[in-house]
């Protein structure tokens, strides 16, 4: 199976010369254009304008962008070199750039989780510095940013492969079928990650087992991540029974029994299992519940936010009226409400598929995401 669709290109020729290019998703599928991301400002812009998007990819591009900026941007290098080699001053300089990146898009928690993890890596690197070393704090922290960014890039693909395997099995168990018909929303494939994908990765794993009968993509208005990106990936990967429907055809699809399971991604999953994902996901979950079609969420553990008890506290990004108008035939001055995400309540979710296994409803029907995360993070820390 080809993995031609590279959401980004990253190289690091001599170990301290990182270079980042991202595929401009706004001009897909008509053009394949890679954009250079030489600074933190550029990383912020490609995320904010949705030239790149998808929860895992947003985090990866932000962190790689920070590393590139520190190592190769002339203005940053000059400022950095002029600073005293004072631990707190150097840390604050990097943290300021991290805060700026964090403000690019609010809903997906992967970005703030990655920045938090990076912050801990920086503190750890500084604490290891001993009195006799000749290496400066500046060099230590720069290297720590680079190491963490490369680790994040690699971890994403291996986590997605594991999600694919757990997800394929969970769907086969739930549907009790040899071959399944799936429906999905938004884009959760190679283009939303460093490779392979989350929800679309599950479809990919079923395809590899020859257990995918068909996959239907919702168009995903207003940004059309389904028709522009998922449709493109489905064709590129020659997924069986690949087709597109408009968002409002989802109920009819289930009423006419053309689908066995829904598989969607996530931007943030709360402690109780409530899940923020692309606008329209909640609606799809209601239709699935009505038709008793299993509804699965696939997401890496970095999309789980156990600090938020329930979905009502998830910040939902609202985008401009202009974005909705320019992708429709509405009069140019029409006022709009354009939320980019909605929250699917845990009660509509059959399971949350992660790289460490599946969070399934307990005997009271509750999704205990908090206990799952605590169990798996304590194992990986010990
Ligand atoms: C693996 S991507 C999971 C989600 O981030 C995805 O489904 C989604 O909602 C993306 O929204 P987007 O606004 O395109 O960044």
Catalytic residue from among 159, 267, 274, 342 = 267
Asked whether residue 288 is domain-assigned, the answer is: yes
Nearest CA to ligand 1 atom 7: 265
Region at 184 (left for phi over 0; alpha for psi -120 to 50; beta for the rest):
beta
pLDDT of 130: 72
Q: Last residue of a domain, which of 108, 129, 155?
A: 155
Asked whether residue 164 is domain-assigned, the answer is: yes
pLDDT of 1: 44
Nearest CA to ligand 1 atom 9: 278
Which phi and psi angles does 354 have, rounded to 5°? -125, 180
| Whether residues 269 and 362 fall in one domain | yes
Q: Which run of H or of E encompasses 85?
A: none
| Whether residues 173 and 42 fall in one domain | no
| Whether residues 227 and 372 fall in one domain | yes
CA of 58 to the centre of ligand 1 (A): 9
Q: Last residue of a domain, which of 124, 155, 186?
A: 155
Asked whether residue 2 is domain-assigned, the answer is: no
| Whether residues 261 and 374 fall in one domain | yes
| Whether residues 97 and 20 fall in one domain | yes
Pocket of ligand 1 (CB under 6 A): 53-56, 108, 186, 188, 192-193, 198, 225, 265-267, 277-278, 340
Residue 240 carries which DSSP code?
Answer: T
pLDDT of 379: 55
| Whether residues 15 and 134 fall in one domain | yes
CA of 189 to the centre of ligand 1 (A): 10
Asked whether residue 3 is domain-assigned, the answer is: no
Q: Which atom of ligand 1 is nearest to the CA of 278?
A: 9
The preferred substitution site among 105, 224, 225 for testing ligand 1, maximizing ligand atoms within 8 Å of CB, is 225
CA of 223 to the centre of ligand 1 (A): 11
Give the DSSP per-residue string, 92-120: HHHHHHHHHHHTS-SS-SHHHHHHHHHHH
| Whether residues 220 and 93 fall in one domain | no
Tell me how far CA of residue 347 lies from CA of 97, 255, 368, in angstroms. Answer: 39, 21, 12
CA dihedral for 217, 10, 300, 49, sign (positive or negative): negative
Q: Last residue of a domain, which of 155, 174, 207?
A: 155
- Tokens at residue 22, please? 């991202």
pLDDT of 5: 80
The preferred substitution site among 24, 53, 54, 276 for testing ligand 1, maximizing ligand atoms within 8 Å of CB, is 54
Check if the beta carbon of residue 184 is closer than 8 Å to that of residue 171: no
Known catalytic residue: 267?
yes
Nearest CA to ligand 1 atom 3: 265
Asked whether residue 1 is domain-assigned, the answer is: no
**Gap between the Cα atoms of 8 and 95, Å rounded:** 24
CA of 344 to the centre of ligand 1 (A): 14
Residue 230 carries which DSSP code?
Answer: I
Check if the beta carbon of residue 61 is closer than 8 Å to that of residue 22: yes
| pLDDT < 50: residue spans in the chain | 1-2, 382
Nearest to 106 by CA among 380, 242, 305, 256: 305
CA of 192 to the centre of ligand 1 (A): 7
CA of 69 to the centre of ligand 1 (A): 25
Asked whether residue 346 is domain-assigned, the answer is: yes
Expressed as residue numbers, the domain containing 334 is: 158-381
| Whether residues 135 and 169 fall in one domain | no
CA of 267 to the centre of ligand 1 (A): 6
Asked whether residue 359 is domain-assigned, the answer is: yes
| Whether residues 226 and 118 fall in one domain | no
User: Based on the structure, what is the number of domains in the chain?
Assistant: 2
Per-residue burial over 45-61, b if 16 or more Cβ lie within 10 Å, else e, is ebbeebbbbbbbbbbbb
Nearest CA to ligand 1 atom 1: 188
Q: Which atom of ligand 1 is nearest to the CA of 189?
A: 1
ipTM over 0.85: yes
| Whether residues 151 and 50 fall in one domain | yes
| Whether residues 238 and 127 fall in one domain | no
Residue 204 sits in a domain whose CATH number is 3.40.50.10470
| Whether residues 194 and 86 fall in one domain | no
pLDDT of 15: 87
Asked whether residue 304 is domain-assigned, the answer is: yes
Residue 106 sits in a domain whose CATH number is 1.20.120.420
The preferred substitution site among 202, 265, 303 for testing ligand 1, maximizing ligand atoms within 8 Å of CB, is 265
């Amino acid at each position: 199976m080809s993995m031609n669709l590279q959401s980004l290109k990253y190289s690091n020729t001599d170990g301290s010369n990182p270079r980042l290019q991202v595929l401009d998703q706004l001009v897909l599928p008509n053009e394949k254009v890679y954009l250079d991301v030489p600074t933190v400002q550029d990383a912020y812009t490609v995320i904010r304008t949705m030239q790149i998007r998808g929860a895992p990819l947003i985090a990866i591009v932000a962190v790689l962008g920070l590393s590139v900026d520190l190592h190769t941007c002339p203005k940053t290098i000059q400022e950095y070199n002029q600073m005293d080699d004072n631990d707190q001053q150097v840390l604050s300089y990097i943290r300021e750039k991290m805060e700026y990146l964090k403000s690019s898009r609010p809903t997906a928690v992967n970005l703030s989780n990655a920045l938090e993890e990076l912050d801990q890596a920086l503190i750890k690197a500084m604490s290891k510095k001993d009195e006799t070393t000749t290496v400066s704090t500046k060099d230590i922290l720069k290297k720590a940013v680079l190491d963490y960014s490369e680790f994040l890039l690699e971890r994403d693909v291996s986590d997605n492969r594991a999600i694919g395997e757990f997800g394929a099995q969970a769907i086969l168990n739930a549907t009790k079928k040899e071959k399944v018909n799936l429906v999905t929303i938004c884009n959760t494939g190679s283009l939303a990650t460093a490779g392979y994908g989350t929800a679309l990765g599950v479809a990919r794993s079923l395809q590899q087992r020859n257990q995918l009968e068909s996959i239907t993509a919702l168009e995903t208005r207003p940004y059309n991540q389904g028709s522009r990106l998922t449709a493109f990936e489905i064709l590129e990967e020659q997924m069986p029974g690949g087709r597109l429907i408009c968002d409002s055809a989802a109920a009819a699809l289930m009423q006419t029994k053309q689908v066995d399971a829904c598989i969607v991604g996530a931007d943030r999953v709360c402690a109780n299992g409530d899940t923020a994902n692309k606008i329209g996901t909640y609606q799809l979950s209601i239709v699935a519940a009505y038709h008793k079609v299993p509804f699965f969420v696939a997401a890496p553990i970095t999309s789980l936010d156990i600090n938020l008890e329930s979905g009502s506290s998830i910040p939902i990004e609202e985008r401009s009226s202009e974005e909705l108008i320019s992708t429709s035939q509405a009069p140019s001055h029409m006022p709009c409400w354009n939320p980019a995400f909605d929250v699917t309540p845990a009660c509509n979710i059959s399971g949350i598929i992660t790289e460490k296994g599946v969070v399934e409803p307990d005997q009271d029907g509750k999704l205990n995401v908090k206990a799952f995360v605590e169990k798996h993070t304590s194992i990986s820390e010990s």
